[in-house]
């Protein structure tokens, strides 16, 4: 309100009189004191905060401009006046346009957009029944096709005694200067130009119900665009319980919540589910989903027993939309029906379309020929990359999918996803086709782009049964996804199957067999199965040396992997000797800056650190990190490994601030790219917690260690070395905090599992003994402490 006062003061060359109009008495007094015979049109009367009727004062002085300043809607009606020429003309023009728009007579067009079964028609009919007196006439047109529209217009023309053509009826409505309402229901056919049926006039009202999102543009203003989205969870639960005739108890609401979540809060599906539960004695809230999952098509075709004229089923409403799609869009919808519905990157299709390899190999037991033909027919319809987006636009127009413009990915509501599956005749072939599609889309390279995209495919790979994958190629691709994302059990199972298939067909010396053995050994290593990993790696090296020679890159890779296993086992001399051979041969064959050379240099630096050669380790780590940043980029997974390794060396050297800085960087990047539960992210969190511990930040360290331990137990197997490491670190924190019983409990578990997994004389087992002995000593259990300490030093006495 002060802004308006300032506007008047700054922009008017005439005098102004401000009246207190907060009450009738105050206004009477202001008029008596200020209005004189000399008051003229050069004066602007400003009524502030009027709470009394002001019309009598305004009409008493028709020659004087009046400005009413109020926040009360009841005061909106007032007499207009013209601002003087000296006012800010740009602001005046803007104000005048707003006023003209507000008073401009126009036709009101409301668009209601939503999926089939969301209740668009019912909402309109209910609105009409409650507001029938507002309209002079209400006409309902079936806009689902040209034929139905023409027939409805013909019927109206006959009823009012005019011509029966669309133009005759449209012109008749335009001539009727009354407040009529036309409803165009189910305008889902994009070949119909609906504006040809809407009267061209500035009066009347129109409501359009449709599934086509582009119809939003027909609305007369943004406020008339109604996007009838699916229900909220709370509303859906209420709707389900209402149709099921169930009470709103907490238990029923929890059961109903699970049902509506599975149905994606789809209005018709929720209503139908409730009606089925209410009408079927053997079906209840607790077992509806079990029934639904067994016979989805029958449930989707269930027709509610209702007096409502809307008798479509969930599946029939979807079928109407599906039939309007072009063949290529139908194909896309059906393929997507066998992918995970929440996140379907378009890149899956574009990568698969450019795949140049083979779907099958000589080791496949049976060839999925029909599924391959389906996939090739599907991909052949999308020769140009932009053609994918044409089909996506079709799905979006009918509200069958949603599209994330940032991630360039599709999402499909659960009910529509299920309905799309029911449109396929041979669902087994389509499921195979979807897995072959993912196999073609999965990159096996080592670039950052490949790494990130494999991470994005995890949700898709996880939606398939790994026992049912159709080819060895698909098994290898899925194993690579699971391996990279830290799902070692699934990766191991798939890689073991690949090895079995290769051994069945090929000799032990065949490159594919050796590659399978090497990959499986890495997975064993990651799970802490070090002896089995060592045995496989030694076998692979021997055979690759025999077949390929000592200087072949595959041989060098195998030697590097075995050296890492030796190092983790505590066999540092053997690890250093082997890693030294690898570095020399990599430099000779590949060059100083090759990624394999850098990997070997990084690995021997870790061995140096374990041997106490800290300066040599630091120097090598810095060298590898600098070169990886230059060649691979700052955030490449291998670069992050080097940053973490250098941070660990700083930690051992006591350079804790430098270690903390690097560990925080690595953890932040891994958490962003890989997710907080990925084993590599947990490793970074563990190292950061250890650094906090050494800095004396015990509470921060405890919190991080507890998170790491909990998440590692979820992700890794029971006796994984990383879990033992987390338990040991947390126990050490408890010990320093004086929580000796908690420390003892964890340390005893760690020691028992180290003995079982690593053996009594492994360095990690001896360290665990020493830690537990220290806790016993702090508890006053001196005999137990001494007994453990003697066991720790026994191997060194020998």
DSSP for 237-281, written as a single string: HHHHHHHHT----HHHHHHHHHHHHHTTT-HHHHHHHHHHHHH-T
CA distance 460 to 411: 12
In the numeric block, the tokens 């599946």 are attached to 315
Query: Which tokens belong to 250?
Result: 């907490």
509-526 burial, b at 16+ Cβ within 10 Å, e below that, comes to ebebbbbbbbbbbbbbbb
What backbone torsions phi and psi does residue 276 show, to the nearest 5 degrees? -65, -45
Q: How confident is the model at residue 64 (pLDDT cuts 50, 70, 90)?
A: low
Instruction: Check pLDDT > 50 for residue 452.
Output: yes
Query: Residue 230 has what DSSP assignment?
Result: P
Contacts of 736 (CB under 8 A, 6+ apart): 693, 698
Instruction: Check pLDDT > 60 for residue 178.
Output: yes
> Can you give the pLDDT at residue 307?
41
Q: How confident is the model at residue 16 (pLDDT cuts 50, 70, 90)?
A: low
599-622 burial, b at 16+ Cβ within 10 Å, e below that, comes to bbbbbbbbbbbbeebbebbbebbe
CA distance 97 to 52: 30
pLDDT digits (tens, 9 = 90+) for 503-550: 999 988 999 999 999 999 999 998 888 999 999 999 999 999 999 999
> Can you give the pLDDT at residue 690?
93
pLDDT digits (tens, 9 = 90+) for 479-490: 999 988 878 889
pLDDT digits (tens, 9 = 90+) for 316-347: 778 878 888 988 899 999 999 999 999 999 99
**Average pLDDT of the residues in 672-694:** 88
CA distance 21 to 377: 78
Q: How confident is the model at residue 7 (pLDDT cuts 50, 70, 90)?
A: very low
Q: How confident is the model at residue 765 (pLDDT cuts 50, 70, 90)?
A: confident
* Strand ranges across the sheet with 181-185: 138-142, 181-185, 205-210, 108-113, 225-227
Instruction: Check pLDDT > 60 for residue 40.
Output: no
Looking at 380-439, which runs of residues are DSSP E strands? 402-404, 409-411
∠ Cα 471 475 479 (to 5°): 170
CA distance 563 to 573: 10
The count of residues in the chain is 798
CA distance 392 to 403: 8
Q: How confident is the model at residue 91 (pLDDT cuts 50, 70, 90)?
A: low
Residue pair 410/401 in contact (Cβ under 8 Å)? The answer is: yes
Strand partners for 139: 182
For residues 607 and 673, which has the higher predicted lDDT (pLDDT)? 607
DSSP class per residue in 97-135: HHHHHHH----EEEEEE--TTSSHHHHHHHHHHHSGGG-
∠ Cα 727 732 737 (to 5°): 125
> Can you give the pLDDT at residue 67?
67
Residue pair 464/435 in contact (Cβ under 8 Å)? The answer is: yes
Query: Residue 232 has what DSSP assignment?
Result: P
pTM over 0.75: no
What is the end-to-end Cα distance of the chain in Å, rounded? 93
In the numeric block, the tokens 């023309």 are attached to 157
Instruction: Check pLDDT > 70 for residue 38.
Output: no
CA distance 180 to 51: 37
pLDDT digits (tens, 9 = 90+) for 135-176: 888 888 988 888 889 888 988 888 888 887 888 888 888 888
Chain centroid to Cα 644, Å, comes to 29
What backbone torsions phi and psi does residue 15 show, to the nearest 5 degrees? -75, 155
For residues 391 and 72, which has the higher predicted lDDT (pLDDT)? 391
Instruction: Check pLDDT > 90 for residue 666.
Output: yes
> Can you give the pLDDT at residue 15?
56
**Average pLDDT of the residues in 229-235:** 76
> Can you give the pLDDT at residue 11?
45
∠ Cα 191 194 197 (to 5°): 130
pLDDT digits (tens, 9 = 90+) for 645-655: 999 999 999 99
Percent of the chain with pLDDT over 70: 85
Chain centroid to Cα 338, Å, comes to 18
Averaged pLDDT score across all residues of the chain: 83
Among the ranges given (637-641, 722-726, 755-759), the one the predictor scored with the smallest mean pLDDT:
755-759
For residues 676 and 117, which has the higher predicted lDDT (pLDDT)? 676
Instruction: Check pLDDT > 80 for residue 222.
Output: no
Nearest to 687 by CA among 724, 720, 726: 726
Query: Which tokens belong to 144?
Result: 């689902």
> Can you give the pLDDT at residue 705?
92
pLDDT digits (tens, 9 = 90+) for 392-443: 888 988 888 888 888 889 999 888 888 899 888 888 899 999 999 999 999 9
> Can you give the pLDDT at residue 485?
81
**Average pLDDT of the residues in 18-38:** 68
∠ Cα 528 533 534 (to 5°): 115
**Average pLDDT of the residues in 768-776:** 90
Run of H or E including 731: helix 721-736
In whole angstroms, how far apart are CA 519 and each of 455, 488, 682? 18, 12, 23
> Can you give the pLDDT at residue 713?
83
Percent of the chain with pLDDT over 90: 36
Instruction: Check pLDDT > 70 for residue 60.
Output: no
In whole angstroms, how far apart are CA 557 and each of 3, 214, 561, 598, 610? 75, 56, 6, 12, 22
In whole angstroms, how far apart are CA 644 and each of 248, 650, 660, 663, 720? 54, 10, 10, 6, 21
> Can you give the pLDDT at residue 80?
46
Instruction: Check pLDDT > 80 for residue 89.
Output: no
Instruction: Check pLDDT > 50 for residue 84.
Output: no
pLDDT digits (tens, 9 = 90+) for 93-144: 665 555 455 445 567 888 888 776 666 777 788 788 888 888 888 888 988 8
Strand partners for 48: 20, 69
């Amino acid at each position: 309100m002060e802004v308006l006062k300032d506007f008047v003061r700054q922009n008017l060359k005439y005098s102004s009189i401000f009246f207190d109009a907060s009450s009738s008495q105050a206004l009477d007094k202001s008029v008596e004191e200020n209005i004189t015979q000399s008051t003229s049109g050069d004066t602007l009367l400003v009524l502030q905060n009027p709470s009394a009727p002001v019309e009598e004062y305004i009409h008493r002085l028709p020659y004087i401009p009046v400005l009413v300043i109020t926040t009360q809607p009841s005061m909106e009606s007032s007499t207009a006046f013209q601002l003087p020429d000296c006012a800010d003309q740009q602001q005046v023009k803007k104000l005048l346009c707003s006023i003209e728009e507000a008073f401009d007579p126009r036709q009101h067009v409301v668009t209601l957009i939503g999926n089939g079964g969301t209740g668009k028609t019912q909402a309109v009919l209910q609105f009409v029944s409650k507001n029938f007196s507002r309209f002079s006439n209400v006409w309902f047109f079936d806009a689902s096709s040209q034929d139905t529209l023409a027939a409805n217009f013909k019927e109206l023309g006959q009823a009012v005694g005019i011509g029966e053509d669309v133009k005759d009826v449209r012109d008749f409505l335009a001539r009727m200067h009354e407040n009529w309402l036309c409803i165009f229901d189910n305008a889902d056919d994009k070949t119909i130009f609906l504006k040809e049926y809407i009267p061209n006039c500035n009066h009347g009202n129109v409501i359009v119900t449709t599934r086509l999102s582009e119809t939003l543009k027909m609305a007369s203003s943004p406020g008339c665009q109604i996007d009838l989205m699916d229900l909220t969870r709370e509303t859906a639960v209420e709707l389900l319980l209402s149709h099921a005739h169930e009470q709103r108890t907490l238990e029923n609401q929890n059961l109903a919540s699970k049902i509506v979540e599975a149905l994606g809060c789809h209005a018709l599906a929720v209503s139908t589910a409730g009606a089925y539960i209410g009408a079927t004695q053997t079906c209840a809230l607790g077992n509806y989903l079990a029934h639904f999952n067994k016979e989805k098509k029958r449930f989707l075709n269930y027709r509610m027993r209702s007096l409502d004229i809307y008798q479509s089923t969930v599946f029939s409403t979807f079928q109407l939309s599906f039939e309007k799609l072009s063949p290529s869009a139908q194909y896309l919808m059906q393929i997507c029906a066998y992918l995970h519905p929440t996140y379907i990157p378009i890149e899956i299709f574009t990568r698969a379309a450019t795949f140049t390899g083979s779907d099958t190999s000589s080791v496949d037991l049976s060839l999925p020929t029909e599924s391959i033909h389906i996939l090739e027919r599907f991909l052949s319809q999308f020769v140009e990359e932009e053609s994918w987006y044409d089909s996506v636009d079709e799905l979006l127009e009918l509200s069958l999918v949603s599209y994330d413009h940032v991630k360039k990915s599709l999402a499909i509501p659960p009910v529509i996803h299920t309905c799309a599956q029911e449109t396929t005749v041979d669902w087994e072939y389509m499921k195979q086709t979807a897995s072959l599609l993912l196999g073609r889309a999965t990159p096996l390279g080592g670039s950052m782009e490949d790494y990130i995209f494999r991470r994005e495919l995890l949700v898709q790979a996880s939606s398939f049964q790994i026992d049912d994958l159709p080819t060895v190629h698909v098994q290898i691709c899925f194993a690579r996804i699971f391996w990279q994302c830290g799902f070692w059990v699934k990766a191991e199972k798939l890689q073991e199957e690949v090895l079995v298939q290769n051994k069945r067909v090929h000799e032990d010396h065949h490159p594919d067999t050796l590659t399978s053995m090497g990959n499986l050994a890495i997975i064993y290593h990651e799970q802490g199965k070090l002896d089995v990993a060592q045995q496989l790696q030694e076998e692979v090296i021997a055979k690759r040396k025999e077949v390929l020679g000592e200087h072949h890159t595959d041989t060098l890779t195998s030697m590097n992997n075995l050296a890492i296993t030796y190092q983790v086992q505590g066999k540092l001399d053997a690890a250093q000797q082997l890693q030294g051979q690898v570095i020399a041969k990599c430099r000779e064959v590949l060059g100083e800056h090759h990624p394999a050379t850098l990997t070997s240099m990084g690995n021997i630096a870790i061995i140096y650190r374990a041997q106490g050669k800290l300066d040599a380790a630091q120097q090598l780590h810095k060298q590898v990190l600098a070169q990886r940043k230059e060649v691979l980029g700052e955030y490449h997974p291998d670069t992050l490994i080097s940053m973490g390794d250098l941070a660990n060396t700083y930690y051992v050297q006591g350079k804790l601030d430098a270690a903390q800085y690097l560990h925080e960087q690595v953890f932040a990047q891994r958490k962003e790219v890989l997710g907080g539960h990925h084993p590599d992210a947990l490793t970074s969190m563990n190292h950061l917690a250890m650094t906090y511990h050494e800095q004396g930040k015990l509470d921060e360290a405890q919190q991080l260690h507890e998170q790491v331990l909990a998440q590692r137990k979820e992700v890794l197997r029971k006796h994984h070395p990383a879990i033992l490491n987390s338990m040991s670190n947390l126990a050490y924190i408890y010990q320093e905090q004086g929580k000796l019983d908690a420390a003892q409990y964890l340390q005893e578990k760690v020691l028992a599992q180290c003995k079982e997994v690593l053996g009594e004389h492994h360095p990690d087992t001896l360290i665990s003994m020493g830690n537990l002995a220290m806790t016993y000593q702090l508890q006053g259990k001196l005999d137990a402490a001494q007994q453990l300490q003697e066991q720790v030093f026994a191997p060194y006495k020998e």
